[in-house]
A and B are shown apart, each in its own frame.
Chain A
Amino acid sequence: EPEVTQTPSHQVTQMGQEVILRCVPISNHLYFYWYRQILGQKVEFLVSFYNNEISEKSEIFDDQFSVERPDGSNFTLKIRSTKLEDSAMYFCASRVGGQLMNTEAFFGQGTRLTVV
């Protein structure tokens, strides 16, 4: 069964360092998302990506964040200069397309980012 894969499963980085989280969406999907969940808090929407550009983003997704689809299969989230408060579980998701009511979003297992 096709699935969304995320690497690494756990990343530890020093404050101020750049980090790249990687995702491989399901191959025929057109919409891609990043969400995050800080420990004990809600799963929060960060950004959606369609047709090689950001289609929607939340207030959390500031200039420190960027997304890219560098090679037609990977979908990456970059955090330029990590802060302690960026420590969270980051989920990637993808869906085929069309209205949300017709297609579900498939989620990856998540990458746990720990900033020290």
Chain B
Amino acid sequence: AQSVTQLGSHVSVSEGALVLLRCNYSSSVPPYLFWYVQYPNQGLQLLLKYTTGATLVKGINGFEAEFKKSETSFHLTKPSAHMSDAAEYFCAVSSSQAGTALIFGKGTTLSVSS
């Protein structure tokens, strides 16, 4: 079985500060890992994904995440937060062996203050 834990339901940062959203996963098979973002009144949008290969993946809007197998983590970072980054962020796991369903974490709400 696969699962995702997102540490911290709410994260608040100042504009220009580092953003770090934590995600740990559990998977008995090699995982595929995703970060989705949801802006108010919109659907889920893919930020980035890790499947195989390079463990540091870059996504849209300056976000990146690093797959660390030894730590079973896939934390999302952005060097400098912007007001427009305020949204809800979801980490998700899947694998080709487990079928195509995504297993999501609870989500982390990011607030950015000026």
Chain A residues packing against B (C-beta within 8 Å): 3-4, 31, 33, 35, 40-45, 48, 55-56, 58, 91, 93, 95, 99-101, 104-110
Give every chain B residue within 8 A of A58 (Cβ-Cβ): 101
In the complex, what's the smallest C-beta–C-beta distance from A96 to chain B, in angstroms?
12
| Interface segment, one of B14-22, B35-43, B65-73, B78-86 | B35-43
Query: What are 27 inter-chain pairs, A to B, with CB distance below 8 A?
Result: A3-B43, A4-B43, A33-B101, A35-B102, A41-B106, A42-B107, A43-B44, A43-B92, A43-B104, A44-B104, A45-B101, A45-B102, A45-B104, A48-B99, A48-B100, A55-B99, A56-B99, A91-B43, A91-B44, A93-B44, A95-B100, A100-B51, A104-B49, A107-B36, A107-B43, A109-B41, A109-B42
A3→B42 CA distance, assembly (Å) = 11
How many chain B residues sit at the interface, stated as a range, is 20 to 34
